[in-house]
Structure 1
Amino acid sequence: MSSGQASLNGSAAPAPWVAGAVVAHEGRVLLVRRRVAEGQLSWQFPAGKVEPGESFEKAAVRETKEEAGLDAAVRQLGEQIHPITGRQVSYTACEVVGGTAHVADAHEIAQVAWVTLSEIPRYIPYELFKPVQRYLDVALRP
Structure 2
Amino acid sequence: MHRIIARLWRLLRGPLQWRILWLAHAKYMVGVTGVVRDDQGRVLLLHHRMWTGARPWGLPTGFAVKGEEFEDTVVREVKEETGLDVRAGRLVRLKSGYKLRLEVAYEAELIGGELRIDPFEILEARWFSPDDLPDGIQESHRPLIQGETSAA
Normalised by the length of structure 2, the TM-score is 0.69
**Is 1:119 equivalent to 2:144 in the alignment?**
no
Deviation string, structure 1 residues 35-94 (Cα, Å, up to 9, x no partner) = 1224643111111110011111100010000001000011121212599xx842210111
**Is 1:78 equivalent to 2:73 in the alignment?**
no
- Deviation of 1:134 (Å): 2.2
Deviation string, structure 1 residues 108-137 (Cα, Å, up to 9, x no partner) = 11110100011126342636464653269x
Q: 1:15 aligns with which of 18, 23, 28?
A: 28
The alignment's C-alpha RMSD in Å is 2.8
Tell whether the 8 Å contact from 1:77 to 1:132 is kept in structure 2 after alignment: no
Mapping 1:89-108, distance limit 5 Å = 89-103=103-117, 105-108=118-121
Aligned residues: 124
Distance 1:35 1:128, change over 3 A: closer
> Counterpart in 1 of 2:44?
30
Tell whether the 8 Å contact from 2:48 to 2:122 is kept in structure 1 after alignment: yes
- Deviation of 1:102 (Å): 2.4
Q: Report the residue type matching 1:109 in the other structure.
A: I
Structure with more of its chain in helix, by fraction: 2
SS of structure 1 residue aligned to 2:132: helix
Runs of at least 5 residues in structure 2 that lack an aligned partner in the other structure: 1-23
- Deviation of 1:12 (Å): 1.7
| C-alpha distance in structure 1 between counterparts of 2:88 and 2:120, whole Å | 26
Tell whether the 8 Å contact from 1:17 to 1:50 is kept in structure 2 after alignment: yes
Tell whether the 8 Å contact from 1:91 to 1:132 is kept in structure 2 after alignment: no
Tell whether the 8 Å contact from 2:42 to 2:128 is kept in structure 1 after alignment: yes
Q: Which has the larger radius of gyration?
A: 2
> Counterpart in 2 of 1:133?
146
> Counterpart in 2 of 1:69?
83
| C-alpha distance in structure 1 between counterparts of 2:74 and 2:112, whole Å | 15
Normalised by the length of structure 1, the TM-score is 0.73
**Is 1:55 equivalent to 2:69 in the alignment?**
yes
SS of structure 1 residue aligned to 2:49: strand
